Amino acid sequence: MAGNFHFELVSPERLLVSEEVAAVRVPGSEGEFEVLEGHAPFLSTLRPGILRVRGGADGEREIFVRGGFADTGPNGLTVLAEEAIPVKEIDREEIERQIADAQDDVNDAKDEATRDEAERHLEHLRDVQRALGH
């Protein structure tokens, strides 16, 4: 049976996790992979998706991550995410409402710069929705 290893999840806003865990399933850009104790050194970029953590203080939990890097090595796993939100904090109905509003913003944009910004925001919201299985 595998033991625990150190896992850190960092976003620009805060350090979300820093503890010993049993396993972490990571949404890598080339596909999901799971890290256990003693995992070979490995570096991957992240795609928008759900990071699943087993063990640690909160038991099992899921965290939406968008963009960034995952680095495994002798000191454990470090994930540097552009964005990280615990799934339990995401209101699915609110995401759907925000997508509708963002689509309206794209349709109503008066110039290309405004449209580009609205499209980036809309794609971000759709990333969250896809990761949640909608």
Q: Could you tell me if 103 and 81 lie in one domain?
A: no
In this model, does residue 134 exceed pLDDT 70?
Answer: no
Q: Could you tell me if 61 and 121 lie in one domain?
A: no
Domain of residue 117: give its range.
90-131
Considering its fold, how many domains does the chain have in total? 2
Instruction: Give the per-residue pLDDT at 21.
Output: 96
In this model, does residue 1 exceed pLDDT 60?
Answer: no
User: Which residues neighbour 76 within 8 Å (Cβ) at sequence distance 6 or greater?
Assistant: 5, 6, 7, 8
High-pLDDT (> 70) share of the chain, %: 98
Return mean pLDDT, the chain. Answer: 90
β-bridge mates for residue 78, sequence order: 8, 71
Token pair 């050194």 in the structure block, residue:
41
Q: Could you tell me if 70 and 31 lie in one domain?
A: yes
Task: State mean pLDDT over 1-5.
Answer: 77
Instruction: Give the per-residue pLDDT at 125.
Output: 87
Quote the pTM value.
0.80
CATH number at residue 72: 2.60.15.10
Strands (E), the chain: 5-10, 15-21, 23-28, 31-35, 42-45, 49-54, 61-73, 76-86
Measured distance CA(33)–CA(21) in Å, rounded: 16
User: Which residues neighbour 52 within 8 Å (Cβ) at sequence distance 6 or greater?
Assistant: 24, 25, 60, 61, 62
For residue 131, the SS3 value is helix
Task: State mean pLDDT over 114-122.
Answer: 89
* pLDDT (tens digit per residue) in 55-96: 877 789 999 998 899 999 988 999 999 999 999 988 888 888
Bridge pairing between strands 31-35 and 23-28: antiparallel
